[in-house]
């Protein structure tokens, strides 16, 4: 700990025995003599009061137990950036006398003998080669001597400065403007004071592509004030800042491809529309924001919205999504290919996870990945056919009909199932016998009657078997291995459906059940080896 007190102590970030705080007061606290620092802890449980002592208010805390008075010699004010780098990355100076070598260098016209000069050159060379630097939790508080960073380690492209003692955005600028190749900067968990107006020096972040500001206390207004200084930024992480989007970006953030707003509980659908026209935004993280609904009013049923034109990946995990209308609206996004929707009331309900997955796939036509699992063509086909059957009775009651000229379900049904008519056009309208009715979960109700053929073995008779729809492909192979006396490793399964003549669907995943591939009564199982 330092015995000297910085001149600009108010507002400084400090560390005491592993706990972080902000200095809000410096002075005498009677009746005890001597200098005290009043600090507000990041962890309010660490403190004892709200900044008051014996009826006198010395500073104010956001939490009634967030404050403490501490002697200056107990506080760590941190170190400059270059000192932290040297502490972590430079070789030791401690050479023995036998290792030290004498060198003669010329300064002006005068030769000067040096001892150990080679070690200094080696150290400087080591720093200049650094490209990726991690100073996480190293008590970095400032840039240090002007020009020192640029001279010593000018080739740095990636810096992790998370969980340090940086207290202002201006100090970050002092570091960044000396690093002309900086592309990635992580400032998470630094409680920074941001400017209320644009203060980024031209060129300070001219090459920056990735900026991480999680848990820094930044507001949306401050983001927009700083954004003109990020001309080529592609990824912006703003998680856990209590951000409320109140203003549409104008001429800023137009290069951003990834925006992380996760764990900001104030974000709702109306705020989202303010960022809906960022032209290059491809990935949006809205996990743990509390969002429950969304509606693109500019697009009707079966149409695409003009909002989020480039959005391909959407994360909405850990939210309050409980209605299928949310999923229906996502089908209106022009470019959406990947969705993560875990741990929502809709996906954690009473229905089986596999059924929920099928319904989401059927409702979003262009989706290629769901919850990090790739949607294969056969899974999409099975999901859409099962979706048709599951809601076939509702469709029929709402005015649906196998005759295309009479197929006119009412508005309520179309609103609840916007893609159903398209699926009827794609696969044909479902027949009455295909409609799924909720039945008791008995083995009889799950059995499929299948014909089994061996196309490459003409002498083999066609068999007929009743198999549970929950039976995995692996178990079917085992059964056929015993029946046909063929090694199970040699067996390849596929099936044909009378509804799609000429089309053979391979059962390529041994761990999936027959129902995954939408195998139905009357289908023909093909066995090859």
Identify the pLDDT of residue 97: 42
The string of pLDDT tens digits covering residues 66-116 is 999 999 999 999 999 999 999 998 754 444 444 444 545 444 445 544 444
**Lowest mean pLDDT segment, chosen from 19-23, 88-92, 490-494:** 88-92
pTM: 0.77
Q: Does residue 492 have a pLDDT over 80?
A: yes
Indicate the average pLDDT of the chain.
88
The residue extents of the domains of the chain are 12-74, 79-91+115-376, 379-427, 447-528
- What lies within 8 Å, CB to CB, of 501 at 6+ separation is none
As a whole number of angstroms, the distance between CA 527 and CA 529 comes to 7
As a whole number of angstroms, the distance between CA 406 and CA 429 comes to 11
Q: What is the DSSP string of 469-525?
A: TT-BHHHHHHHHHHHHT--GGG-EEEEE-TTSTT-EEE---TTSBGGGGT--TT-EE
Identify the pLDDT of residue 368: 98
- What lies within 8 Å, CB to CB, of 307 at 6+ separation is 273, 276, 277, 296, 298, 333
Other C-beta atoms closer than 10 Å to the C-beta of 382 total: 21
Superfamily of structural domain 79-91+115-376: Ribonuclease Inhibitor (3.80.10.10)
**Predicted confidence band of residue 279 (pLDDT cuts 50, 70, 90):** very high
**């050159």: which residue's tokens?**
121
Is the distance from CB of 331 to CB of 423 less than 8 angstroms? no
CA dihedral 444, 355, 472, 456 (to 10 degrees): 100
Whether domain 447-528 has CATH 3.40.50.300: the reply is: no
Phi, psi of 95 (to 5 degrees): -90, 145
Which of 108-122, 289-303, 428-442, 452-466 shows the highest mean pLDDT? 289-303
**Lowest mean pLDDT segment, chosen from 23-37, 56-70, 348-362, 437-451:** 437-451
Identify the pLDDT of residue 122: 55
**């179309």: which residue's tokens?**
414
Q: Is residue 304 classed as helix, strand or coil in its secondary structure?
A: coil
Length of the chain: 529
Of residues 19, 25, 27, 69, the one with CA closest to residue 44: 19
Is the distance from CB of 83 to CB of 149 less than 8 angstroms? no
Using the 8-state DSSP alphabet, how is residue 91 labeled? P
As a whole number of angstroms, the distance between CA 466 and CA 446 comes to 10
Is the distance from CB of 491 to CB of 485 less than 8 angstroms? no
CATH-assigned architecture of domain 12-74: Roll (2.30)
Angle value at C-alpha 488, between 463 and 485, nearest 5 degrees: 55
Q: Is residue 413 classed as helix, strand or coil in its secondary structure?
A: helix
């Amino acid at each position: 700990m330092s015995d000297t007190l910085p001149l600009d102590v108010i507002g400084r970030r400090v560390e005491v025995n592993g706990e972080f705080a902000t200095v809000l007061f410096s002075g005498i606290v009677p009746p005890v003599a001597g200098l005290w620092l009043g600090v507000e802890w990041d962890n309010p449980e660490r403190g004892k009061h709200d900044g008051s002592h014996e009826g006198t208010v010395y500073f104010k805390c956001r939490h009634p137990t967030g404050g403490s008075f501490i002697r200056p010699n107990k506080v760590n004010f941190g170190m400059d950036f270059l000192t932290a780098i040297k502490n972590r990355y430079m070789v030791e100076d401690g050479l023995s006398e036998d290792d030290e070598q004498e060198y003669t260098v010329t300064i002006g016209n005068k030769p000067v003998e040096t001892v150990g000069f080679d070690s200094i050159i080696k150290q400087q060379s080591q720093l200049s080669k650094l490209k990726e630097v991690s100073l996480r939790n190293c008590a970095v508080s400032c840039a240090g001597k002007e020009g020192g960073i640029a001279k010593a380690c000018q080739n740095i492209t990636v810096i992790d400065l998370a969980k340090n003692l940086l207290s202002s955005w201006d100090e970050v600028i002092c570091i960044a403007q000396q690093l002309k190749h900086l592309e990635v900067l992580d400032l998470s968990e630094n409680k920074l004071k941001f400017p209320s107006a644009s203060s980024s020096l031209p060129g300070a972040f001219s090459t920056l592509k990735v900026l991480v500001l999680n848990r820094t206390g930044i507001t949306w207004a401050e983001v927009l004030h700083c954004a003109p200084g990020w001309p080529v930024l592609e990824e912006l992480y703003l998680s856990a800042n209590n951000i409320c989007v109140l203003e549409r970006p104008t001429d800023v953030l137009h290069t951003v491809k990834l925006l992380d707003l996760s764990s900001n509980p104030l974000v709702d659908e109306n705020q989202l529309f303010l960022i809906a026209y960022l032209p290059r935004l491809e990935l949006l993280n809205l996990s743990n924001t509390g969002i429950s609904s969304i509606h693109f009013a500019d697009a009707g049923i079966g149409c695409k919205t003009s909002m989020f034109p480039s959005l391909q990946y959407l994360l909405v995990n850990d939210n309050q999504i409980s209605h299928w209308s949310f999923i229906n609206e996502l089908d209106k996004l022009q470019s959406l290919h990947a969705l993560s929707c875990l741990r929502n009331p809709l996906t954690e309900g009473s229905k089986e996870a596999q059924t929920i997955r099928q319904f989401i796939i059927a409702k979003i036509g262009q989706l290629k990945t769901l919850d990090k699992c790739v949607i294969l063509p056969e899974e999409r086909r099975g999901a859409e056919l099962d979706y048709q059957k599951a809601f076939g009775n509702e469709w029929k009651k709402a005015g649906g009909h196998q005759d295309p000229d009479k197929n006119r379900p009412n508005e309520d049904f179309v609103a609840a199932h916007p893609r159903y008519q398209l699926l009827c056009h794609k696969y044909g309208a479902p027949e009455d016998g295909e409609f799924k009715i909720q039945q008791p979960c008995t083995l009889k109700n799950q059995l499929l009657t299948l014909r089994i053929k061996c196309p490459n073995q003409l002498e083999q008779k066609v068999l007929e078997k009743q198999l549970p729809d929950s039976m995995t492909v692996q178990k079917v192979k085992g059964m056929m291995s015993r029946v046909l006396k063929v090694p199970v490793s040699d067996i390849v399964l596929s099936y044909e459906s009378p509804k799609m003549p000429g089309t053979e669907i391979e059962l390529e995943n041994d761990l999936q059940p027959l129902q995954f591939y939408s195998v139905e009564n009357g289908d023909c199982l093909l066995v090859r080896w």
